[in-house]
Structure 1
Amino acid sequence: MEPVEPRTSWTFVTQHARILAMILRDPEIRVRDLATECRLTERATQAIVTDLETAGYLTRERHGRRNHYEVTPGTLFRHPAEGRHEIAQLLRLLVDLDRVAETDPRPAGDDGDRHERPPPG
């Protein structure tokens, strides 16, 4: 049997969720920095921030030359399957994962010996 190639390059966390969590962590983060972290263009990142603002998930105010963002508390997931749940728990999880990653000395993607694959054969 031939190995099956992945259908697409998808992730469990959407760019919208990722950006919202990053804004929660740093309310004065620049679009340029969001784009770099998410591996998106600044234009795509700005469109996502606008989506989130338009949908009521965050507000934006100018503070001098910078934007200051505030994540709106009590907002719910958009999909009916999760629609009765607040997104706050997911955002806290993502922010906590970022904090753990900053203090973990292992390179990204290194899960240590816990998930080591057995040798082929």
Structure 2
Amino acid sequence: MSITSAATLATLHRTGPRRITDLAATEGVTQPAMTVLVRVMEESGLVERRGDPSDRRVTLVHLTEAGTSYVQARRQAGVDAFAKLIGRLADDEVDALLAALPALAHLAELESQDHEGPKR
């Protein structure tokens, strides 16, 4: 799976259903490229397109159960890899990581806000 595909699935998991144009802007690709990407992920059963109940002219991309499972498995694999590596650190290094967690959480929050763009 491409990095853009994985990032798009993660965005949908984090933010909920989105328009293709919004996903393209968020992921930094053209709208036609995102349309192709969504089609491929739809054929793979990871996403589905549904009409927007508040505006029938709009189509939203939704994660399927398989898409949600993929995102969760990928995240768990990352957690497991980091846990294994952290287990190899000295106690003072683990303490340093723990002390840095609030700043790292804030960085992640700022990045997420930048990545999602303005709220509508």
TM-score (norm 1): 0.51
Query: For structure 1, which runs of at least 5 residues remain unmatched after alignment?
Result: 1-12, 77-85, 109-121
Residues 1:68 and 2:60 aligned together: yes
CA contact (8 A) 1:59 1:72 kept: yes
Q: What is the percentage of aligned positions where both structures have the same residue? A: 22
CA contact (8 A) 1:21 1:92 kept: no
Return closer, same or farther for 1:102/1:93 CA change in 2, 3 Å cut-off.
farther
Residues 1:14 and 2:3 aligned together: yes
Residues 1:36 and 2:43 aligned together: no
Equivalent residues in 2 for 1:95-114 (5 A)?
A: 101-103=108-110
Q: Deviations over 1:66-120 (max 9, x none)?
A: 22333222469xxxxxxxxx522326899xxxx962347xx99xxxxxxxxxxxx
What is the CA distance between 1:65 and its match in structure 2?
Answer: 2.6
Determine which of 74, 79, 96 is the counterpart of 1:90: 74
Q: Deviations over 1:8-58 (max 9, x none)?
A: xxxxx6111111111222333222221122221110011101110011111
Whichever structure has more helix as a proportion of its residues is 2
CA contact (8 A) 2:13 2:63 kept: yes
- Cα-Cα RMSD: 3.5
How many Å separate the matches in 1 of 2:32 and 2:73?
Answer: 28
Ranges of 4+ aligned residues in structure 1 off by more than 4 Å:
91-94
- Amino acid in structure 1 at the alignment position of 2:109: E
